[in-house]
Chain A
Amino acid sequence: MARYILRRILITIPTILCVTILVFSLLYITPGDPAEMILGSSATEEELASYREFLGVDRPYLVQLGDYLYRLFIKFDLGDSWLYASRITDEIKNRLPITFAISMYSILIAVATGIPMGVYAAVKQNGAFDKFVLVTTSVLHAVPNYVFAMIFIMVFSLQLNWFPAYGIGSLKHYVLPCMCIFISNFGSMARSMRTSMLEVIRSDYVMAARAQGFSRNVVYFLHALPNAMIPIVTQLGGRFAGALGGTLILETIFSIPGMGLYVQGAISKRDVPVILGNVVFMSIWFCLIMLLVDILYAALDPRIKAQYIAQSAGKRRKRS
């Protein structure tokens, strides 16, 4: 197990490095001259050149990349905005808690409600409740959350005046955005839990457990559920890992000063370092969460460990 974890960590390091290089290179080819964009078209050629030098964008690609990687991985610095004085790292530090709060709480609630609902629907397959879950979750899961956001604002904020439509502050401010994130996560959580549970319920070993005399409830909750949870863990990990990027449009709609709004502002002003910094940060977050999930997964399912052992054994055999 320790070796598996070590190996998995060792894979993560080059992955993070490659992802950073990939995102950097993608955004490097962004058209337009930042100096001209910032100083305006009235600036002279000399002013532009000196500003380019100030931003460091006149250097060759590889030098810029090397500099970026050095600052990121040695100094933990995500660089500076082209437009604002504040450092990106500081900005993210301030904004992360807000984004983190709205997404994590909503996902947690979605998990806490979606999983039992999916399990219950599977156990009572084809019943009225099951059909209800099936239809509602497919609506909630399919319709994009920004559409819900718009509708919620129009109904609960403007018509009924229950909750504020913009900004943060009181608890009430969090209700609508959290509901939107909750809805899409809840839909897919309940749905995949149902599917996974049904698959396990239909498997031979669950029938065998019934044949051995275990009662229906014991079989469902002690034999089937743990196994049905295994694929859900990965999915859950994916949800948490992608959570920071998932609030982008919602933060824009609800004017929540989190990372999403930061990125959206940067997109509209083509402030490339800010986009880059946020995407790199979110990707590293993604990699680290998935690392945790994989380790958890191996602990839950002995077959994964076995695969790894078989793999490395095969390699050793080849080498000798």
Chain B
Amino acid sequence: MKEKEFEKKHDHREHHHHDGHRDGEFLSVKDLTVEYTSGKQVVHAVNGISFDIKRGHSLGIVGESGCGKSTVAKAILRILPDHGARIAGGEIWYKGRDLVSEPEKRMEHIRGAEISMIFQDPMTALNPVKKIIDQISSVIRLHNPGMTKKEAEEQGIKMLRRVGIGEDRVRDYPHQFSGGMQQRVEVAIGLSCNPDLLLADEPTTALDVTIQAQVLDLIRDLMREKGTTLLLITHNLGIVAEMCDDVAVFYGGEIVEYGSKREIFKNPSHPYTIGLFGAVPSLTGEGERLKPVEGIMPDPSDLPLGCKFHTRCPYATEACSEGEVPVVQLGGTHYCQCHNIEAVKAAQEKEAAK
């Protein structure tokens, strides 16, 4: 019975756009589906997405807020809320093991030690009534049971110093720090046990622009130092350009376009991706107005049929509002989930010629 299901999933995967890679990959997410239920309402936050990351590489998931990006990270760590949220299907292969079916005890050893996460808002992600040294050293001790309290604290102080927090501040409480400093603490805690994979959920969104760059630099340096793999979730294409090797564009719980950074930035093909680029100020195009993506995110509990983006898409045809949307390989690792790639391209070129 179990085997059959397994086969079926694999079967399904054959048709999907990421077929062909081996299960021995570092992190490989296949057909992941996450649902939130409240009462009788079912919200499809993540709808059968697949992607993978090679060891030491970094993937950026880009999309508007409310599109289910953070849910992906929480699903990987299996820390979705106990009530009303569940992984409805799919697999998360990590070092040859499927995290979806790992026992909870195993997951506890993986969380924080092998895979760690940095949350969006440092103000709320640190325990307000614990000194930061205690917060970091308790994590270190948890994953290094042999360590004494003193050793763990020393390790914690070392880690905090690495992110620029002097020893004189380590016995302070979170509220005594600025937002940027708090996020440094978060980074320190996240990397304190040398994880193999770091999930960063909008790590700089709550910070001032000047601080953003510092924190990003810090994350990048530490990752280079330790060879950490990164899954970065953001709505900011600039951050992706700076931090990531590959990009997944996320809309309505699906990945609508996927490719290397070069492929996506050179040749954005999905109308939504194009729209996102239209909303980024460019340094060369003088006097051009920013074009926001028209309309609003559809209600995730009431997603449209067919292509999820067709309600906002300026190129939508009748075919877009029904049935499955084919995934088209545009070359190399570049995939796009759209009916009208050609037409969009043509329209783009026409516009550019004008």
Contacts and interface: CB of A to CB of B under 8 A. Distances in A.
Interface of A: 125-126, 202-205, 207-216, 223, 226-227, 230, 300-303, 306
B129 A211 contact: no
B35 interface: no
Contacts of B104: 215-216
Nearest to A126: B83
A272 B74 CA distance: 65
Given A126-B83, A204-B121, A205-B128, A306 B189 contact: no
Chain A interface main SS type: helix
Contacts of A301: 128-129
Contacts of A208: 117, 119, 125-126
A216 to B, nearest CB: 8
B119 A204 contact: yes
Interface in B25-71: none
B125 A204 contact: yes
A223 B175 contact: no
B143 interface: yes
A213 B125 contact: no
Given A202-B81, A204-B119, A211 B173 contact: no
Given A125-B82, A213-B113, A205 B142 contact: no
Interface of B: 74, 77, 79, 81-83, 104, 108-113, 116-117, 119, 121, 124-129, 139, 142-143, 173, 175-176, 189
B175 A213 contact: no
B5 to A, nearest CB: 27
Nearest to A208: B125
A302 B175 contact: yes
A213 B143 contact: yes
A230 B127 CA distance: 13
Contacts of A215: 104, 108
A207 B79 contact: yes
B125 A212 contact: no
A139 to B, nearest CB: 24
27 contacts: A125-B82, A126-B83, A202-B81, A204-B119, A204-B121, A204-B125, A205-B128, A207-B79, A207-B125, A208-B117, A210-B79, A211-B111, A211-B116, A212-B189, A213-B112, A213-B139, A213-B142, A213-B143, A214-B112, A215-B108, A226-B129, A227-B127, A227-B129, A230-B129, A302-B129, A303-B175, A306-B175
Which of B83, B108, B110, B176: most chain A Cβ within 10 A?
A: B108
Given A125-B83, A205-B127, A227-B129, A211 B121 contact: no
B82 A210 contact: no
B173 A303 contact: yes
A202 B77 CA distance: 17
A212 B142 contact: yes
B81 to A, nearest CB: 7
Nearest to B172: A302
B126 A205 contact: yes
B175 A211 contact: no
A4 to B, nearest CB: 15
B176 A211 contact: no
A306 B176 contact: yes
A210 B175 contact: no
Given A211-B116, A213-B111, A303-B128, 6 more contacts: A126-B83, A204-B121, A212-B116, A213-B109, A214-B112, A306-B175
Which of B83, B111, B113: most chain A Cβ within 10 A?
A: B111
Contacts of A125: 82-83
Nearest to A123: B82
A202 to B, nearest CB: 7
Given A303-B128, A306-B175, A214 B142 contact: yes
